[in-house]
Amino acid sequence: MRELAIKYGCNPHQKPARIYRKNGELPLEILNGTPSYINFADALNAWQLVKELKEATGLPAATSFKHVSPAGAAVAVPLSDTLKKAYHLEGKEISPIATAYARARGADRVSSFGDFIAISDTVDLDTARLLSAEVSDGIIAPGYEEEALSILKAKKKGGYVIMRIDPGYAPEEIESRDIFGITLEQLRNNAVITRDSFSNIVTENKDIPEEGIRDLLIATITLKYTQSNSVCFAYGGQVIGCGAGQQSRIHCTRLAAGKADIWMLRQHPKVLSLKFREGLKNPIKDNAIDLYLRDDITEAELAEWKNLFETVPEKLSASEKAEWIRNFAGVALSSDAFFPFKDNIDRAAMSNVKYVAQPGGSVRDDEVIKACNTYGMVMCFTGVRLFHH
């Protein structure tokens, strides 16, 4: 098949719409559902991300995409009992592939509501069972176990989008897109991120353990498929905060750091012990936890929020939050372009960042390096900008 019609483009009034290859067959097959234009945009970016994560780390990888940027991405690192509870998986044992997706979804569960998923490996029964309980629009993977496929086909009253992609597919080196009737053409972003990408350490502290390199790989490869400007935080084998599509670098960092803080705080004993009213579904609980951790909750939100609990919980104080965040040693941060000011490092330090990767090349590199030295951080210059538009 060389062409596939789509119901409409980004919006219902944008007709006609289609996907096609100028040369050769499409490398994917629709196994279920009717994909939208945005589903395809998410799927094709998400697949590249997990394929590269698997190649870089040797571990099964997964990502949760929303509006052509990852809400989360992860590799198959075992879940602690604390994370299982935070991810609504308490007492369950799941496969490595399912674990990778649980981590990817767990990065930002509020944003992952209605996500499009990519899995680097054949989707197994555990992963399908996990997905059956989540609100999701579709999935792309190189294959599916028969029983897993049956479970996924039943989602969304039979309308769940399921794509199978040829894992050996390699695109042409030159890519193009049309904007306002004018064609732009470029060499596709074929930069390969490896452990060697982090060998140029420019700070006084040069000690990065294997876990730090792994998390820098995850953060940096994630940025390659995140709408720019973008900054990504990673920890424990997964993304924990991604700031995408901001016009200012510091706003990217603040957004990503704020999400990383919430990810850490979701594991606080007070959060894990919240007593919800009977019958609430996980997305409602996730939103309630988000409101519980926010400082800017409105009176209207507060009134609605109180009704979700058996008893109204006492909110965490600023000092309790800061003290808890200090427990997470060794957070990694990557930026898709250089840091123009040290304010990014100052904000990162508040979220306990230890390892930093960025291209370098700012006229204020010395100030940024000095800030990292002040906080005892390790910073690498990758020399590779990763803008994605």
Give 38's contacts (C-beta < 8 A, 6+ positions apart): 10, 67, 68
Calpha distance 73→77 (Å, rounded): 12
Residue 353: phi and psi, rounded to 5, are -70, 135
According to the model, what pLDDT value does residue 251 have? Answer: 96
Instruction: Write down the architecture of domain 188-265+324-381 according to CATH.
Output: 3-Layer(aba) Sandwich (3.40)
According to the model, what pLDDT value does residue 65 have? Answer: 96
Give 74's contacts (C-beta < 8 A, 6+ positions apart): 61, 62, 63, 100, 101, 102, 103, 104, 106, 107, 218, 237, 238, 239
Calpha distance 192→51 (Å, rounded): 12
pTM over 0.85: yes
User: Residue 311 corresponds to which amino acid?
Assistant: T
Domains 188-265+324-381 and 273-315 share a fold: no
Could you tell me which of 140, 157, 134 has the C-alpha nearest to residue 44? 140
Instruction: Write down the architecture of domain 273-315 according to CATH.
Output: Orthogonal Bundle (1.10)
Give 43's contacts (C-beta < 8 A, 6+ positions apart): 28, 35, 65, 116, 118, 138, 140, 163, 165
According to the model, what pLDDT value does residue 236 have? Answer: 97
- Asked if residue 4 lies in contact with residue 17, where contact means CB atoms within 8 angstroms, the answer is no
Class of domain 3-165: alpha beta
Enumerate the active-site residues.
66-67, 229, 389
Sign of the CA dihedral with 61 first, then 248, 351, and 319 last: negative
Largest CA-CA distance found in the chain, in angstroms, rounded: 62
DSSP string, 40-103: HHHHHHHHHHHHHHHHHHSS-EEEEEETTEEEEEEE--PPPHHHHHHTT-TT----HHHHHHHH
Q: Which two tokens stand for residue 194?
A: 């490896």
According to the model, what pLDDT value does residue 298 have? Answer: 78
Q: Domain ranges in the chain?
A: 3-165, 188-265+324-381, 273-315
Q: Which two tokens stand for residue 286?
A: 């996730």
According to the model, what pLDDT value does residue 23 have? Answer: 86
Residue 230: phi and psi, rounded to 5, are -155, 150
Sign of the CA dihedral with 183 first, then 188, 189, and 191 last: negative
According to the model, what pLDDT value does residue 295 have? Answer: 81
Instruction: Specify the 3-state DSSP secondary structure of 276.
Output: strand
Instruction: Specify the 3-state DSSP secondary structure of 174.
Output: strand
Per residue of the chain (389 residues), give pLDDT as tens: 788 999 999 999 999 999 999 888 999 999 999 999 999 999 999 999 999 999 999 999 999 999 999 999 999 999 999 999 999 999 999 999 999 999 999 999 999 999 999 999 999 999 999 999 999 999 999 999 999 999 999 999 999 999 999 999 999 999 999 999 999 999 999 999 999 999 999 999 999 999 999 999 999 999 999 999 999 999 999 999 999 999 999 999 999 999 999 999 999 999 999 999 998 999 999 999 998 898 887 777 777 778 888 888 888 999 999 999 999 999 999 999 999 999 999 999 999 999 999 999 999 999 999 999 999 999 999 999 999 99
- Asked if residue 240 lies in contact with residue 234, where contact means CB atoms within 8 angstroms, the answer is yes
- In this structure, the number of other CB atoms found within 10 A of the CB of residue 196 comes to 9
Using DSSP bridges, classify how beta strands 230-235 and 136-141 pair: parallel, antiparallel or unpaired. unpaired
Calpha distance 348→198 (Å, rounded): 19
Instruction: Specify the 3-state DSSP secondary structure of 333.
Output: strand
CA 247 to mean position of chain CA atoms: 19
